[in-house]
Structure 1
Amino acid sequence: MILEEIPSPPLGEFGRIARFFKPLAAGFPGARGLRDDAAVFGVPEGRELVVTTDAMVAGVHFFPDDSPADIAAKLMRSNLSDLAAMGAEPLAYTLVTALPRGLDESWLEGFAAGLGEDQRQFGIALAGGDSVSTTGPITLSVTAFGLVPSGRALPRWGGRPGDRVFVTGTIGDAALGLEIAYGRLDIPDGETRAHLLRRLRRPDPRTTVGPRLIGLASGAMDVSDGLVADLGHLCEESGCAALLRAGTVPLSDSARGAIDGDPVRLALAITGGDDYELLFTAPPSARDALAALAADSGVAITEIGELNPGPPGEVTVLDAAGATLPLARRGWDHF
C-alpha cells in the first residue's frame, strides 16, 4: 500500500504573520510582538523622527521572477537610502504586502529571510504592517522610521550658488544592469555582468555617511530617478541651476567597461536611476572634511559639479571635452 503525502493546509493571514514576520519584530519592543493593531514607541530627547515610504510593484520596480530575497533587499534599501539622505539613523519600519492568493509560501520564506538579513546588517527592525491579497501584481510598501538630531535633518532646498555638487559611491551600475536584465546590452564578461546586476538588485544605501553629512552638506537627497533628474529636483527646491561635469561622475570599473566610450551608454548611466547613492551640495570649505569622511567610512565621495545662479532646476551637462552632452531624457518619471 502506498501512502500519499497529504499537503499541509495554507497558513492563512495570521499564520503567515506568526511564521514569517513575528521573528522580524522580536528586536523592537515597540512592535509589541505584532499582537496589537499598532506599534507604540517614543523618540529620545533631543531627537526627531524622520519618516519615509516607498512602494514597489512587480513589473515596474522588479522582475516578477527575481529572487524574493533580492526583492526584499531592494525594498528595504530604497527606504534606508531615503533616511540616509535626511541624515537619519535607521530605527524601525512597517511593511505592507499585497500578494496573489496562489503565491507559494516558499516565496514568503525567502522574502522574510531577505528582510532579516538586511535588518541585521543595517540595524533596523519590523514594527508592524498589513497583509492583503490582490488579483494584480505583487505590490509591496515599506514605511521606514529614522532618528535625527532635533532641527538638523538635511533638506533638499539648502543649496546655494557657489556650492559644489558631490555624490557618493558610483553611478550608472543599476541602469546598465537593467539593460542587461532586459537583454538589450550584451556584456560577455561574467564578472562585469554580475556586478552590474547585483547593483540593480541590491543597492548600497549610504547609512554610514548620511548622518555624518549633518553640518557639512547644505542640501541632500538620494539618486533614485537618475543623477541628472535628481540634481534638477535639488536645484529646483534650492532655487538655482547646476553645472554637471559628466567626465567627473564616478563610475565603477564594470560600468566603465560596459560604457566603453559610448556617449549613448554614458548618457544612460547618468540618467537611468536606481543608484541609491547620496547626492548633496556643500560649500568649497567642506572639501577637506568630506575627504576625511570618505576615508573614514570607506565610501567614495566625488565632486561632480557646482550650483550657479539660473533658472531653478536647470542642469547643464558637459562631456569630458567641455561640450554640452545631449540627453534624450533627464531621468525616470512614473507618469
Structure 2
Amino acid sequence: MASSSSGEFDLIARYFSRPVRRSPLGGGDDCALLAPAAGMQLAVSSDMLVEGRHFLSTVDPASLGHKALAVNLSDLAACGAKPLAFTLALALPAMDGDWLQRFSQGLYALADAHGCELVGGDTTRGPLNICITVFGEVPAGQALLRSGARAGDELWVSGTLGDARLALEVFRGTAQVPSEVFAAARARMEGPTPRVALGLALRGVASSAIDLSDGLAGDLGHVLKASGVGATLDADAAAQCVAARAQQPALLDAAGWRQLALAGGDDYELAFTAPPAAHEAVLAAAQASGTAATRIGRIEAEPGLRIVDGRGQAIANERFASFDHFG
C-alpha cells in the first residue's frame, strides 16, 4: 500500500495487514500481482462510498466495513464471478483506533466468508470516503452480462427489494414504522447480502444479469439497452418482494409498495433473465444458493420498459426513476 507518513504506515500495519496468498508480492509492495487460473478471465469492479451520500455518519463502523465490500461483491455476483481479492482506498478525517478496529473487523469478516483477500490500496486524510476495487474470476466465455437478454426470456429478481429505502425514509423523518420493521429494514440498508452464491449457480442458466444499486426499474433499463430488447414488468409482483410488506401489509398502499420495490435503490440484489425452458433450473439455483427468486416479468422484442399492475394495467414509468448522483 502506498504511504507517506509513519502514522499512515502504522495505521495500515495495525488494521489492514494480513498474510496474502494470491499475490506473490504480498500486500506491501507498490502493486499486487494477480493471475487467474488457466481458462479463467478476471472480473474487476470498483465502487465508492462517500459519507453523507452513501451512508450516514451514525452507521456502525463494522456494518460500514461489511457494506463497503458487499457492494463490490454484488457486482461480481452479477457477473457470475468468484471473488479473489480486493484493494482498499480509504480517506479518513482523523485516525480513530476504535473506529478502524470495528471497520476492519466488519470488512474482514465478509472477506473471509468469500475467500477474498485484501492485497493493497492507499490511505489519506480527508472527508470519510471508501473506495474498493474487487477482483474475481469466471470461466472464459461464461460471464453473465447485461447484453444477453432475449425476447421471450423470463425476468427474475433475487431476495427482497425496497427495505433499504424504507429505512432511509425513517431516518429522514418522512416515514414512521414499528420498531421491529425499522430494525429489519435498517439491517438490510447497512448490511446487504451480496448474492455471490446465486450468481455462480446462474452461470449457464441465466441469459443476463445486473446488480440492483440504483433501483429496479432504472437498473433494468441498462439490461434492456445493452440487449436491444424491451420488457413488461409486473410492479405488484415486484412489490411482493418488499420484506416489510410481509411484516406489516397495511403499512403502505399498493402505490407505496411499488415505489419501494421499483425505485428504492441500495438493494444489492440481482435482476436476471432466463429462457422459459430454464425456469426449473432457476428455481434449483435459487434453492442451492439459499436465495429467494421471484419472476416479475418478461423480455419482449419491442424496445422500452412497460410497467403494469397485477391486472395488466399500465403504470407510468416516470414514477420509478432510478437514483442519479448528478440528476
Q: Please, which of 132, 137, 149 is the counterpart of residue 124 of structure 2?
A: 132
Residue-by-residue CA offset, 1:26-55 (whole Å, 9 max, x unaligned): 243417343211112321111111000000
> What is the aligned partner in structure 2 of residue 194 from structure 1?
183
> What is the aligned partner in structure 2 of residue 273 from structure 1?
265
Q: Percent identity?
A: 41
Q: Any idea what SS the aligned residue of 2:124 has?
A: strand
Would the aligned equivalents of 1:180 and 1:197 in 2 still touch at CA under 8 Å?
A: no
- CA separation in 2, counterparts of 1:223 and 1:29? 29
- CA separation in 2, counterparts of 1:325 and 1:186? 26
Q: Please, which of 179, 201, 222 is the counterpart of residue 211 of structure 2?
A: 222
Which structure's CA Rg is the greater one? 1
Residue-by-residue CA offset, 1:186-208 (whole Å, 9 max, x unaligned): 012x2211110000001111111
Residue identity opposite 1:58 in structure 2? E
Residue-by-residue CA offset, 1:162-195 (whole Å, 9 max, x unaligned): 111111111111111211222221012x221111
Q: TM-score, length-normalised on structure 1?
A: 0.90
Give matches, 1:6-25, under 5 Å.
Answer: 12-23=7-18
Q: TM-score, length-normalised on structure 2?
A: 0.92
Q: Please, which of 74, 99, 111 is the counterpart of residue 92 of structure 2?
A: 99
Would the aligned equivalents of 1:31 and 1:128 in 2 still touch at CA under 8 Å?
A: no
Give matches, 1:144-159, under 5 Å.
Answer: 144-159=134-149
- CA separation in 1, counterparts of 2:236 and 2:59? 33
Residue identity opposite 2:154 in structure 1? R
- CA separation in 1, counterparts of 2:221 and 2:323? 12
Would the aligned equivalents of 1:28 and 1:127 in 2 still touch at CA under 8 Å?
A: no
Alignment size in residue pairs: 318
CA RMSD of aligned residues (A): 1.7
Residue-by-residue CA offset, 1:189-247 (whole Å, 9 max, x unaligned): x2211110000001111111101211111111111110000111110111111100012
Would the aligned equivalents of 2:78 and 2:199 in 1 still touch at CA under 8 Å?
A: yes
- CA separation in 1, counterparts of 2:107 and 2:6? 20
After TM superposition, what 4+ stretches of structure 1 lie above 3 angstroms from structure 2? none
Residue identity opposite 1:116 in structure 2? Y
Give the stretch that moved more between structures: 318-327 or 218-227: 318-327
Residue-by-residue CA offset, 1:232-264 (whole Å, 9 max, x unaligned): 111011111110001212424424426533413
- CA separation in 2, counterparts of 1:76 and 1:253? 23
What are structure 1's unaligned runs of at least 5 residues? Answer: 1-9
Q: Any idea what SS the aligned residue of 2:206 has?
A: coil
Residue identity opposite 1:157 in structure 2? S
Q: Any idea what SS the aligned residue of 2:80 has?
A: coil
Residue identity opposite 2:202 in structure 1? L
Residue identity opposite 2:314 in structure 1? T
Shift of 1:321: 2.8
